[in-house]
A and B are shown apart, each in its own frame.
Chain A
């Protein structure tokens, strides 16, 4: 089981968390102005890097807060926390 570092609770077992996907994906301000391809890109296209990945987690069965953190997708090691967003 992964130990995931919660900024409020410290390292905690993975089973207490839900994954929130890639961080920093901003919803377009005016969705109706986008064509289908641009909307599909917002919904589905992610960077999927090999290595450092900024992502969101929610410590659902703990403090229940969302937070952003960088995880290496090769080693599963967690690096620094980031500001939310």
Chain B
């Protein structure tokens, strides 16, 4: 990933509201993996919606032959041997870290999924929507979500979350 490329939300101060904090994560590498799980040099989770965490990074299984690798240094994850394709999408998305007692409530202002901790437990991931934007959602802990959003939608999603955070009780 080229560090000279500007991020979509560089320098934005976190959203601090009652029960929830939203911040922009530091930059990290991302890759989309498509194809046969055996084609990749890193072990991949095989259940759609599950996450394999490794070191500081993770691999999210988004579809039966689709994975999103987060914060796994490019070299390892981009090596493909067989029927698969790995694409560096480091600059395509921006990531938000949403934490706090009302983290799920804030996301539910625009996300139609049941985010109760029993319905979407820690270690779950999926692509979904929030407001008008498509997002990838990964629940890292009961009160902590990682959100990936296309950089062109990042400013919109940020404004949407800031507006809805004001109304939380």
> Which of A8-16, A37-45, A76-84 faces chain B?
A8-16
Give chain A nearest CB distance to B31 CB in angstroms: 17
User: What is the total number of residues of chain B having a CB less than 8 Å from a CB of chain A?
Assistant: 13
Residues of A close to B63: CB separation below 8 A: 8, 63-65
Q: Does B90 reach chain A (CB closer than 8 Å)?
A: no
Say yes or no: is A29 at the interface (Cβ < 8 Å to chain B). Answer: no
C-alpha spacing A8/B48, complex, angstroms:
7
Partner of B112, one of A13, A63, A64: A13
With an 8 Å Cβ cutoff, the count of chain A residues facing the other chain is 12
Task: Describe A's contact surface by its main secondary structure.
Answer: loop
A15 nearest CB across to chain B (Å): 6
**Interface residue? A26 (CB, 8 A):** no
8 Å CB interface, A6-30 against B: 8-9, 12-13, 15-16
A/B pair count, beta carbons within 8 Å:
34
- Chain B contact surface mostly: strand
Interface residue B129 (Cβ < 8 Å from any Cβ of A): yes
Q: What CA separation (Å) do A8 and B126 show in the bound complex?
A: 11
Q: Contact string, A56-68, partner B, CB cutoff 8 A, digits 1/0?
A: 0000011111000
Within 8 A of A (CB), among B51-99: 62-64, 66
Q: Does A1 contact B (CB under 8 A)?
A: yes
A28: min CB distance to chain B, Å:
30
A65, B128: Cβ atoms under 8 Å? no
CA distance A9 to B49 in the complex (A): 7
Chain A interface residues (CB < 8 Å from chain B): 1, 8-9, 12-13, 15-16, 61-65
| B residues lining the A interface (CB < 8 Å) | 48-49, 62-64, 66, 112-113, 126-129, 134
- In the A-B complex, list the 4 residue pairs whose CB atoms are closest, starting with the nearest: A63-B63, A13-B112, A8-B48, A61-B129
